[in-house]
Structure 1
Amino acid sequence: MAVKLNTPIKLVLFDVDGVMTDGTIYMAESGEFCKAFNVKDGLAIELLRAHEIKSGVISGKASPALTNRCQKLGFDIIETGCKHKLPKLEQICTNFNVTADAIAFCGDDVLDLPIMERCGLSVAPADAHQLVLEQADWVSAYKGGSGMVRDFVDTLLLSQSNIGLKEIYQPLLRKIALDDLTGVEQ
């Protein structure tokens, strides 16, 4: 399924649980949260950065594991513990001088509907709530936490360019090769 855009996307925002993870939360007796993230999705964030598209998360939940993963991925925006996401979107638009129609949002549950209605492109994993699937402009064939983010980023970049998938990865591969030569840790 192709992504149809009226405005080029300059920023991609993600919900986390159910999008970047399968929605499972592991809790230790101490109350500490653990989450499983797909490394393919992590590489997709690097790919966005290689194409000068900003990225971030707006998540209803907050945990040290989530903050740690977001920081390691180098997101431009990290908003956690946020049940009402629409005011955060308006603040992000102001802070980054971008209009909502130049933002894609990937969500999976009903708390994501207000922001999905406002953004220029709304995206959902295959296992999203029915109301989210109905709202989404594009639905991945993949479930949340199973490569859905990578699927979307590949599709988005293909839709915004006149080049093929192999060419889309060239800026990222060049950066990785350069980092290897200079000893920069990834």
Structure 2
Amino acid sequence: MMLPNQVKEKANSVALMIFDVDGVLTDGTLVYGPSGEEVKHFNVKDGVGIKLLQTYGVHVAIISAKESEPLKKRIIDLGIKYSYLACKDKLAALDELLVKLKLDYTQVAYCGDDVIDLKVMTKIGFAIAPNDAYFMVKEAAHYVTSSLGGKGVAREVADVILSSRMDLKDAYIKAMLPEFEEKK
């Protein structure tokens, strides 16, 4: 994966990768089951990317304005340690997490798709938007994925970050090991 130097530098400094959910890890469609329960569609390839980031020492967090049982399950399945759900102030959540992890804004990457994400995206070191993000978000991003929300955005982001540090073929060797699929 060939990256422009500025993107590579920003990706290489990431110690914390934060994902919004709806429109990033999902396509943003809201689906309700027959009893009114919310259904979410997640991309399995994104899960591999998120787990690889964690395997190589990058903290991963979820900050979402919404909360749902499917999202809670996905967070558990991927071993994500930091999540802020039903979050009304994403910047306050980020600030709390930075204190906890002893990091600063320059070490943070954030992937968001709508205007609620701009407050965070304009503060951090590496702002990322899915290809189908709202135009103002794409304008604020340092990197716009070729992937659409829910269609491999997190995997592409993981590849960008990991390829700034190593050959991707080497990075994926760990994903081929049986223990990679074990829950942590």
> Normalising to structure 1: TM-score of the pair?
0.90
- The reply to whether residue 22 of structure 1 matches residue 27 of structure 2 is yes
Change (3 A) 1:95 1:133: same
Change (3 A) 1:167 1:132: same
Partner of 2:140: 135
Distance 1:105 1:168 in 2: 21
Distance 2:182 2:60 in 1: 21
Please give the per-residue CA displacement for 1:26-64, whole angstroms capped at 9, x wherever unaligned.
112422100000000000111101111110100011111
> Normalising to structure 2: TM-score of the pair?
0.91
Partner of 1:34: 39
Distance 1:93 1:125 in 2: 24
SS at match of 2:18: strand
Of 81-90 and 2-11, more deviation after overlay is shown by 2-11
CA RMSD of aligned residues (A): 1.8
Distance 1:53 1:139 in 2: 20
Gaps of 5+ in 2: none
Q: Which has the higher contact order (CA 8 A, sep 6+)?
A: 2
Distance 2:64 2:125 in 1: 19
Partner of 2:9: 5
Contact 1:51 1:171 in 2 (8 A): no
What amino acid is the match of 2:9? Answer: L
For residue 167 of structure 2, the aligned residue among 142, 164, 171 is 164
Gaps of 5+ in 1: none
For these two proteins, the number of residue pairs brought into alignment is 179
SS at match of 1:17: coil
Partner of 1:53: 58
Alignment of 1:72-83 (within 5 A): 72-83=77-88
1:78 positional shift: 1.1
